[in-house]
Structure 1
Amino acid sequence: MRDASPLRYPGGKWRIAPFFERVLLLNRLAGSDYFEPYAGGASLALSLLLANRVTEIYLNDLDPAVHAFWYVVLMRNKDLRELIESTAVTPEEWIRQKEIYKKGRSAGMLAFGFATFFLNRTNHSGIMNGGMIGGKAQEGTWKLDARFNKPELLRRIKRIGSYKKRVHLSQLDAIDFLNHTKPSRDSLVYLDPPYYNAGAKLYLNAYGPGDHAAVRNAVRQLDAPWIISYDDVPEIRTLYRPVRSRRLRLLHTARSLRLGREVLFFSSRLRIPVYR
């Protein structure tokens, strides 16, 4: 299975899409609606949607840059693709896009969304403050366009656009999103909150211990079955005890960040297939 998302995220969750497909089948949730309060690159949600394992996906992210990107994918798809085709991937353009990104929505949604995409594809590990691949001198092995395969990215974006009637987008706090959408018992909620450790290096909206506890309390109130992923650290294990869990093995590419293993926690209603 290939990554369906145009965005790069450390530890992209598309690799566990086959496991989630088995979760859906085992729990008679195939064809249900699917909710992600922390959409980010939405690689797992898109993998399930494009494979028709779920009917509609509800993507939410509080980060205005992430929201702007998905907005233009859904609402300005052709304009976005034209920008990608016409924009040179150079250090000078990187500097220009960085300035647009800093302006946020005042630059316009299309410009802001494209700047987010451009920097995500040209920064180390896709991290917005990661610095440009290859540096300003572009003297290393990897050049700025190393992760900017235009034909493939255009293909992904065009395909996602064709599914826009089955994608719902919002920009809310994760708990507010759950309270607003009220996922039913016949849907699946997947939460991928900021890491407990190293979160400030990866996320605009990093969490403290109180935020993580609030998320735990929120999922306990859900009628819908849920799965939540975290970095596998003692603090999170203690917070979610005695919730059932499975260790998760993912390839992380975040430069110099030792993220360690991850863990999945499962709501009591879910039957858990073997993770391979």
Structure 2
Amino acid sequence: MTELLSVSTSRRYGTLSPLRYPGGKAALAGLFADILTGIGIADPTYIEPYAGGAGAGIALLREGLVSKLVINDIDPAVHAFWRAATENNAELVDRVLHSPLDMDEWRVQRDIYRSKPKSIIDLGFAFFYLNRTNRSGVLNAGVIGGNDQRGNYKIDARFNRTTLAERLRAIGSLSAKIEVSDLDGRTVIKRYGRDPCAFLYIDPPYVQAGSQLYLNSFDRRDHEALAKIVREVSAAHWLVTYDTSPLIERLYRDLFQCRLELNYSARHPGRANELLVASSSVGAEVSRLQSLDATVA
């Protein structure tokens, strides 16, 4: 395994995703931009098989660094949100601007989320509402401020209507370049695995966090099955991030690996070291960037 990689890029992007996500990787957008530039992919398609908040992908698309963004998430509520954001944008924005921010509305949206209605806009907004009003964006974590709203922060602490509406409108303006799907992540990887213009960022549920933070957690067999599929990707450029785990290091033992240092709050306080695994093309570019950082230092 190579040395620690602290993310140092030619440019940093702000938080552009409207979602709060445990372990969200929006901070990696600058690194991905440098990798894409170094590899020299013409009109790249950026794919997140386990999208969640899709923070890095949204940043790259808004900056014109990728020509297409594929957002895939098998969870029905996450998928509904992204469908609503791209297909029912105006109505979603209107709900964000005008829905009450109180415990009565929180309970209404919680019940909608639990019932999993067929309506894309209803389920998508319910998921979004809970994501922005629950602690750390975790849907089973409880509301910010507690049910009695006596905490230091209240239900609206992470629900800035104006900012969220702006982010959603920006996504709506790019909807023609965004594809949303609800497939198993491995299916998406296989679909784009032979495309030399594809860049896949694979961020699956982690080993240690399990069902505490993820709506669809993995067991050992899932991690093994994913590793098998990733190893079969022959032409696409890809990068995987995981928590540091002997299981994952062993599953990807003969591929490029390095430690990745990022700041988190939901999963760990302060800085967290994670594992980065990459295809040969991406691994070579990461090594080059590490060498440049060492030279500058």
TM-score, structure 1 normalization: 0.95
State the one-letter code of the partner of 1:93: E
Q: 1:69 to 1:207 in 2, by over 3 A?
A: same
Question: Is residue 2:170 matched to residue 1:159?
Answer: yes
Conserved? CA contact 2:42–2:197, under 8 Å: no
Q: 1:199 to 1:265 in 2, by over 3 A?
A: same
Residue in 2 aligned with 1:124? 135
RMSD: 1.8
- Determine helix, strand or coil for the equivalent of 1:67: helix
TM-score, structure 2 normalization: 0.88
Give the Cα–Cα distance (whole angstroms) in 2 for the partners of residues 25 and 67 of structure 1.
Answer: 30
Conserved? CA contact 1:36–1:189, under 8 Å: yes
Select between 176-185 and 210-219 the one with higher mean Cα deviation. 176-185
State the one-letter code of the partner of 1:133: I
Conserved? CA contact 1:8–1:41, under 8 Å: yes
Which of 244, 252, 272 does residue 285 from structure 2 map onto?
Answer: 272
Residue in 2 aligned with 1:147? 158
Select between 28-37 and 114-123 the one with higher mean Cα deviation. 28-37
Q: 1:217 to 1:122 in 2, by over 3 A?
A: same
Give the Cα–Cα distance (whole angstroms) in 1 for the partners of residues 194 and 55 of structure 2.
Answer: 20
Give the Cα–Cα distance (whole angstroms) in 2 for the partners of residues 256 and 181 of structure 1.
Answer: 33
Give the Cα–Cα distance (whole angstroms) in 1 for the partners of residues 177 and 194 of structure 2.
Answer: 16
- Determine helix, strand or coil for the equivalent of 2:188: helix
Residue in 1 aligned with 2:149? 138
Question: Structure 1: where are the runs of 5+ without partners?
Answer: none
Question: Is residue 2:242 matched to residue 1:230?
Answer: yes
Tell me the matched-pair count: 275
Residue in 1 aligned with 2:207? 196
Conserved? CA contact 1:5–1:41, under 8 Å: yes
Query: How big is the shift at 1:186?
Result: 2.1
- Residue deviations 1:128-176, cap 9 Å, x none? 1110000011111111111001100000000010001100110001112
Give the Cα–Cα distance (whole angstroms) in 1 for the partners of residues 224 and 92 of structure 2.
Answer: 38
Residue in 2 aligned with 1:37? 49
Query: How big is the shift at 1:105?
Result: 2.7
Give the Cα–Cα distance (whole angstroms) in 2 for the partners of residues 258 and 196 of structure 1.
Answer: 20
Conserved? CA contact 1:38–1:61, under 8 Å: yes
Which of 219, 224, 234 does residue 213 from structure 1 map onto?
Answer: 224
Query: How big is the shift at 1:261?
Result: 2.1
Question: Structure 2: where are the runs of 5+ without partners?
Answer: 1-12
The sequence identity of aligned pairs, in percent, is 39
Question: Is residue 2:67 matched to residue 1:58?
Answer: no
- Determine helix, strand or coil for the equivalent of 2:239: strand
Conserved? CA contact 1:231–1:259, under 8 Å: no
Residue in 2 aligned with 1:22? 34
Conserved? CA contact 1:198–1:259, under 8 Å: no
Residue in 1 aligned with 2:275? 263
- Determine helix, strand or coil for the equivalent of 1:261: strand
Conserved? CA contact 1:77–1:161, under 8 Å: yes
Conserved? CA contact 2:86–2:171, under 8 Å: yes
State the one-letter code of the partner of 1:266: A
Select between 63-72 and 182-191 the one with higher mean Cα deviation. 182-191
Which of 116, 121, 143 does residue 104 from structure 1 map onto?
Answer: 116
Query: How big is the shift at 1:210?
Result: 1.0
Q: 1:30 to 1:122 in 2, by over 3 A?
A: farther
- Determine helix, strand or coil for the equivalent of 2:206: coil
Query: How big is the shift at 1:233?
Result: 1.7
Give the Cα–Cα distance (whole angstroms) in 2 for the partners of residues 102 and 94 of structure 1.
Answer: 12
Query: How big is the shift at 1:29?
Result: 1.9
Select between 188-197 and 247-256 the one with higher mean Cα deviation. 247-256
- Residue deviations 1:80-103, cap 9 Å, x none? 011111101111111110001011
Query: How big is the shift at 1:198?
Result: 1.2
Which of 71, 82, 98 does residue 70 from structure 1 map onto?
Answer: 82
Q: 1:256 to 1:89 in 2, by over 3 A?
A: farther
